[in-house]
Amino acid sequence: MNPVEYRRPATADEALTLTGSAGARLLGGGTNLVDLMRKGVERPSLLADVSGLSSLIEPTEGGGLMIGAAARNSAVAAHPLVRAHYPMLARAILAGASAQIRNMATVGGNLMQRTRCLYFADTAGSRCNKRSPGSGCDALEGFNRYHAILGASGDCIAVHPSDMGVALAALDAQIRILSTGGIRVVPLTEFHRLPGDRPDLETALEPGELIVSIELPPSSVAARSAYRKVRDRASYAFALVSVAAGLAVRDGRVEDVRIAFGGVAPRPWRAFRAEAVLLGRPPTTEAFEEAAEAELQDATPLSGNSFKPNLVRRTMTAVLSELAGDDR
């Protein structure tokens, strides 16, 4: 049994002070961290519970939306402004976990949740460079059906599990981080690091910092947007592949488009190449397939997930075709 001190800071500054101390971890809803503590993957000596800090969801002066890091996933999905202006975000959140978990889970915790790679959570003998740097990676030759085909390395092929993060990547979300120097802002697409030879370093968050809020800019594609998740079970399962997309068509051509993938990379994967292929083109099935090909040109499927590139292509094409609707 490891003794753990529990504190509930009243302000973000107080949380900042607490999280700067050795062995400290921030606690949101606890739906991931507490699991990992039970498994012995995480062994904090201090938990700073930030779930009582800002959970406000409010419009910004620039016409976007600010979401407090302590906002519960279910509150974000149900919020009228999210449902009206960012439907893909509501749909992505509702595609994840269960109602009970979404009621507990916070926005900050969702983005910071750890990978679901089986070997990462198995402290009984599995080799895992992310959990124990330099020990090896049992997923490379093991069960890797859920693992990455984009952005991985020879040291780690784990995917980031968040559904919400995929929609946020497509929506150009900005993460507001509190550090001792004040607030700094990191685009969500750059927040999660690719593993390289340091898979234990997962995000742009430095030790002693915390996420205080997420800002969504106004978006010309968000109102006509969707999220589709393909998984082994209809509910309560992580994505094999997911696609978040928003599309604006004018005069028969793609005026603006945002696409991101989940379940295929160590970060919510923004499909910048695919978007570039589509801009200015008629929104045809052929164009969507060509765009998917462009995005997947560096894909490296593994022994257990050679189906993923085709699944990405088909899912992306289906989502964009649905969004294009009568404009085709």
- Nearest CA to 237 out of 182, 130, 328, 163 is that of 163
153-172: contacts with ligand FAD (CB under 6 A): 161-164
- 3-class secondary-structure state, position 264: coil
In the complex, the smallest distance separating the C-beta of residue 124 from ligand SF4, rounded to whole angstroms, is 13
Binding residues for ligand FAD restricted to 213-242, rule: CB under 6 A: 238
Q: With CA atoms as reference, report the closest residue to 96 among 244, 207, 259, 312.
A: 244
Q: Could you say which of 106, 189, 213, 315 contacts ligand FAD (CB under 6 A)?
A: 106
Measured from the CB atom, the residue of 110 and 126 that comes closer to ligand SF4 is 126
Q: At what angle do helices 308-324 and 285-295 cross, to 10 degrees?
A: 140
Structure tokens at 34: 């507490």
The Cα 293–Cα 166 span in angstroms is 19
Whole-number minimum distance, CB 262 to ligand FAD, in Å? 8
CA distance 42 to 38: 8
Identify the burial level of 207 via C-beta atoms within 10 angstroms of its C-beta, where 0-12 means exposed, 13-18 middle and 19 or more buried.
Answer: exposed
| Token representation of residue 108 | 């900050």
| Tokens linked to 174 | 């900005």
Q: Is 199 in the site for ligand SF4 (CB under 6 A)?
A: yes
DSSP strand E in 180-262: where? 182-187, 210-216, 225-230, 241-250, 253-262
| Residue 115 binding target from ligand SF4, ligand FAD, none, CB below 5 to 8 Å by type | ligand SF4
Report how many residues bind ligand SF4 under the rule CB under 6 A.
14
> According to the binding rule CB under 6 A, does residue 101 interact with ligand FAD?
yes
What is the rounded CA–CA span in Å between residue 11 and residue 241?
38
Site string for ligand SF4, 154-173 (x = CB under 6 A): --xxx---------------
Tokens 């800071």 map to which residue?
9
Choose one: 23-31, 148-156, 215-223, 308-316; the region binding ligand FAD (CB under 6 A). Answer: 23-31
What count of Cα atoms within 13 Å lies in the side-chain half-sphere of residue 191? 28
Which of 25, 27, 138, 171 forms a contact with ligand SF4 (CB under 6 A)?
138
Which position among 18, 31, 147, 202 is part of the footprint of ligand FAD (CB under 6 A)?
Answer: 31
Among 119, 227, 238, 269, binds ligand SF4 (CB under 6 A): 119
Site string for ligand FAD, 193-212 (x = CB under 6 A): ------------x----xx-
307-328 in b/e form (b: 16+ CB < 10 A) is ebbebbbbbbbbbbeebbeebe
Is residue 96 a contact point for ligand FAD (CB under 6 A)? yes
Tell me: does residue 104 bind ligand FAD (CB under 6 A).
yes
Residues near ligand FAD (CB under 6 A): 25-33, 50, 69, 73, 96-97, 101, 104-106, 108-110, 112-113, 161-164, 205, 210-211, 238
Residues near ligand SF4 (CB under 6 A): 115, 117, 119-120, 128-130, 137-139, 156-158, 199
